[in-house]
Amino acid sequence: MGSKNKLKRFQENETFPNVIQPTRESLLQGSFEHIGHWKEYFRNDNPIIVELGCGKGEYTVALARQNPDCNFIGIDIKGARFWRGAKTAHEEQLSNVVFIRTQIELIEQVFAHDEVSEIWLTFPDPQLKFKRTKHRLTNPDFLLKYQRILDSKGVVHLKTDSAFLHGYTLGVLGGLGIRPQMAHHDVYKYVHAPAEVVSIQTFYEQQYLAQQTPITYLKFSYEK
């Protein structure tokens, strides 16, 4: 993507009412106005569902279309990417969608404890190199962050084409004493696959499927 095109998207993001771009400093200082007040922001008591590393926002927008009684928040540091999702949601007047530009490591400065009902991780970078372990979105540190912002019945979904990340996450969950509610190495071959998992396909997911790459899926909660 050219720099001029990126700049245009950044500028347009600033005009969208469904895009929030807090500074890192405001988050670290605890002055982010919406933390603990997301239901007031959406003006309802509907569940809050978050997609981390939302990319172009395809999944966030599709989930919002399918579930008008839930609120959806897509988070990514690359605003030029989620511009597409924000623009689509704005054009379709989807009032239950918002995008936040920030680092995922700061989610505890974005959401209060027990404020989120579900977290989606859709095709995150598996960070294959050992030195990149700390950046894997299902490493133990991230999983503990998720636990703190999820409510007592909250769940995490992981949908990925990476058999490595699927297996790695199963290992981490086992180490934490967490037994997945669902775990499939090829979710499209599972008769009882959740509709929201198989009915929504991102652009890149369609490419993976065309190449006959299995799509894996995990669903887990922290309930004992």
Catalytic residues: 125
3-state percent helix, strand, coil for the chain, nearest multiple of 5: 40, 20, 40
**44/120 Cα distance (integer angstroms):** 21
**Cβ atoms 35, 111 nearer than 8 A:** yes
157: tokens are 């979904």
**143/160 Cα distance (integer angstroms):** 17
Dihedral sign computed on CA atoms, order 141, 143, 147, 149: positive
Give the largest CA-CA distance in the chain: 51
